Amino acid sequence: MRWRGLVLLLFGVVSLGAATEVELHYFWSATCPDCMVMKAYLAGLQDRYPELRVVAHEVTFSPANWRKMVTLGEAYGLTKEVTPTVFVGDLGVVGIGLAAELQIEEEILRCRAEGCPSPLDRLPTSLRWALSPLEVLLILAVGVGVLLLVWK
């Protein structure tokens, strides 16, 4: 696999032919410092690969985006529901770091060369129902408020 990645990276550097558009979905949270690191990394990739289209989904304040991330994560076989999460081609990756960055770039290069459907094509017709962190906090706040009213 390392050789394949090296070959794809080299191919991406020396390729002069037209590349296929690649769609990447990036799920991030407004409260996540690692998400800013991933955002900067993805911006650098967009500079190097103009055919890369990054679609960002903020999940802290959007329960619908949270459910979309959870459902896509299931479709990709991910076991963690955390941010940042990236989906591109056949890759779903959680977190930051060199390993994640290399996997993402390798998959982008593969998709440029071979073509890949949108990650959203893996979404079923209905999203998995899952409480977002914001919804959990709201439920807890309402529950505490009710308890305080009852104890008065």
For the chain, give every domain's residue range. 2-151
- The pLDDT value recorded for residue 148 is 65
As a whole number of angstroms, the distance between CA 131 and CA 10 comes to 43
- The pLDDT value recorded for residue 123 is 86
Superfamily the domain 2-151 falls into: Glutaredoxin (3.40.30.10)
Helix then strand then coil, % of the chain, to nearest 5 = 55, 15, 30
As a whole number of angstroms, the distance between CA 86 and CA 106 comes to 13
Q: Residues 127-149, buried b or exposed e (16+ Cβ, 10 A)?
A: beeeebbeeeeeeeeeeeeeeee
User: For the chain, first and last CA: distance in Å?
Assistant: 64
The pTM (predicted TM-score) of the whole model is 0.76
As a whole number of angstroms, the distance between CA 42 and CA 52 comes to 9
- The pLDDT value recorded for residue 150 is 74
Q: Mean pLDDT of residues grouped by 10 in the chain (152 residues)?
A: 51 55 96 96 97 96 91 93 96 96 97 95 74 62 65 76
